[in-house]
Structure 1
């Protein structure tokens, strides 16, 4: 997955013309053209190369949409950090590493019975697809 600079995306979204944005296309003697419009029908971007799908995509990524995606990504990252902290590795003797959350810890601090090797299934699910 590509690293995203969420702070820079947020800065750009807050500086851009507010949405919602829309788009329109028309045929001319020279070919197709399109424009992305703000909520007052002012053109934000125009093109005459006929790539209407670009206009549709640009219009769909107005500042509010980008800010909502950033908030969703940051919220997910916060929740993942909490889960990672809960499912942290614990070294036990002689040389095993177990999941502190998934393994059964007795009141005396010893682990007994249900001992789950780290990374547990939860951590594996969080890291599936990571390039780390």
Structure 2
């Protein structure tokens, strides 16, 4: 479909053989076409802006999810004797690899906060 040249139509209706009624109708239609074109251009601009915003939000979600994955990787469950599960990050670990002293049950406060649990 080719674009309708409303400027040419506005000029053409000035011809002496065009009736006033036809000229008025054509001019009204030209005004409506121009208005619709302006609205369409504005809508396209808004759609482009919304697309950019959506891409930006998606990138933010990806960054946030990666950060949460890193936190969860740090605060991972560790099985210890006699069948307890503790948080490897929150619990104190000796140089020999054993946990001693401050031992935090899993899920720890950090994981509970991420999960929305009390």
TM > 0.5 fold call: yes
TM-score bin (small chain): 0.5 to 0.7
TM-score, normalised by the number of residues in structure 2: 0.59
> Are residue 63 (structure 1) and residue 51 (structure 2) matched?
yes
- The unaligned stretches of length 5 or more in structure 1 are 1-34, 46-57
* Cα distance per residue 1:46-92 (max 9 Å; x no partner): xxxxxxxxxxxx77x71111111101100000000000000000000
CA RMSD of aligned residues (A): 2.8
SS at match of 2:78: strand
Once residues 84 and 70 of structure 2 are traced to their aligned partners in structure 1, the CA distance between those partners, rounded to angstroms, is 23
- Residue 102 of structure 1, aligned match among 90, 97, 118: 90
Q: Which residue of 2 aligns with 1:42?
A: 41
- The unaligned stretches of length 5 or more in structure 2 are 1-35
> Are residue 74 (structure 1) and residue 62 (structure 2) matched?
yes
Once residues 43 and 101 of structure 2 are traced to their aligned partners in structure 1, the CA distance between those partners, rounded to angstroms, is 64
TM-score, normalised by the number of residues in structure 1: 0.53
Higher helix share: 2
Runs of 4+ in structure 1 off by over 4 angstroms are none
Looking at both structures, which has the greater relative contact order when contacts are Cα pairs under 8 Å and sequence separation is at least 6?
Answer: 1
SS at match of 2:90: coil
Higher strand share: 1
